[in-house]
Structure 1
Amino acid sequence: MMGGYGMTGGFGGGFGGILMILWWVLIIVGIVFLVKWLVTSSSAGGRRDDGSKALDILKERYARGEIDEQEYQKRKNDLTQ
């Protein structure tokens, strides 16, 4: 019986070998799609802006004296509505 491996050499040969190759291809493709999804979702999340960055810039401009309190309050109300 040739060491228990039969005529296929231990890899299942024929249909079994093709299924094993397809299984590993599916696993690799799944990993690639998972990584792409994670990269895309994290970069999209980084680009999401709820106005807090704009409000921070407004606060900095007010603190530096570039705008007065009236202008600060008006723009703050515009940003938070």
Structure 2
Amino acid sequence: MMCPMCLSVLLIGLLWVVLFILLIAGIIWAIRLAKREGYFYRKARSADRAIAILKERYAKGEIDQKEYEERKKDLAA
């Protein structure tokens, strides 16, 4: 049979292991979040590309000025 002091030492040891695992998981999560920041950059580039296509269509005469302004306003939102 284990003494109460031995049991508390064992539980404290297990607590440290759990805290260490949570620390490692937090670091991995932070790294993944930092890598995902590129998502916002790609999204902004995608909007820039859409506006460039819109300008090209307007320059070719495929759409009129009213439609160009409406779509540009929609893309900016």
Q: What's the TM-score, normalizing by structure 2?
A: 0.50
C-alpha spacing 1:56/1:27, structure 2 compared with 1 (3 Å): same
Match of 1:76 in 2: 68
1:24 aligns with 2:16: no
Q: Which runs of 4+ in 1 moved over 4 A?
A: 48-51
Q: What's the TM-score, normalizing by structure 1?
A: 0.49
Percent of pairs identical after alignment? 22
CA displacement at 1:40 relative to structure 2: 3.7
Aligned partners of 2:53 and 2:46: how far apart in 1? 13
CA displacement at 1:26 relative to structure 2: 0.9
Structure having the higher helix fraction is 2
SS of 2:26's equivalent? helix
Opposite residue 80 of structure 1, the aligned amino acid is K
Match of 2:31 in 1: 35
Contact 2:54-2:68 at 8 Å conserved across structures: yes
Calculate the aligned-residue CA RMSD, in Å. Answer: 3.1
Query: Tell me, which stretches of 5 or more residues in structure 2 are unaligned?
Result: 1-8
Aligned partners of 2:46 and 2:72: how far apart in 1? 9
Query: Tell me, which stretches of 5 or more residues in structure 1 are unaligned?
Result: 1-12
Aligned residue pairs total 63
Give 1 or 2 for the bigger CA radius of gyration. 1
Aligned partners of 2:65 and 2:54: how far apart in 1? 10
